[in-house]
């Protein structure tokens, strides 16, 4: 298991492609959930970055599994225009387990 992959809509993943992330998966909603499940189970990646817009298509128990997973680490990428963006503070607390304050 190594590396990082990105799953999401074209406008989300292309920025990562431009900075050198090669493992990108452009998906349509809600079919992208199946790609997330596949990659999560594959153990091919240590970090899976996913468009936040896919969260609404996940069942609550499945979302909880992804939120607490450390191997692979699943990070939901905030998408401009979605009002329920996770703040940097909440993201740090979830991933690092520390409170950096508001």
For residue 6, the cross-strand partners are 24, 49
Instruction: Assign 84 a pLDDT band (cuts: 50, 70, 90).
Output: low
Neighbours of 51 (CB within 10 A): 22
Residue 83 CB neighbour total at 10 angstroms: 4
Q: What is the pLDDT at residue 62?
A: 95
Query: Contact at 8 Å (CB) between 51 and 12?
Result: yes
Rounded to the nearest integer, the mean pLDDT of the chain is: 86
Residue 92 has pLDDT above 70, yes or no: no
Domain ranges of the chain: 4-96
Q: Is the pLDDT of residue 54 over 90?
A: yes
Instruction: State the pLDDT confidence band at 78, using cuts at 50, 70 and 90.
Output: confident
Predicted pLDDT of residue 87 = 60
Say which CATH architecture domain 4-96 belongs to.
3-Layer(aba) Sandwich (3.40)
pLDDT digits (tens, 9 = 90+) for 19-52: 899 999 999 988 899 999 999 999 999 999 999 9
Quickly tell me which residue has 């809509």 as its tokens. Answer: 9
């Amino acid at each position: 298991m190594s590396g990082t992959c990105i799953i999401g809509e074209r406008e989300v993943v292309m920025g990562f492609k431009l900075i050198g992330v090669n493992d990108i998966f452009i998906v349509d909603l809600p079919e992208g959930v199946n790609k997330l499940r596949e990659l999560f189970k594959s153990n091919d990646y240590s970090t899976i970055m996913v468009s936040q817009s896919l969260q609404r298509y996940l069942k609550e128990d499945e979302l909880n599994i992804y939120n607490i997973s450390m191997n692979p680490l699943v990070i939901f990428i905030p998408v401009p225009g979605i009002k329920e963006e996770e703040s940097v503070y909440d993201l740090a607390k979830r991933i690092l387990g520390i409170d950096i304050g508001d």
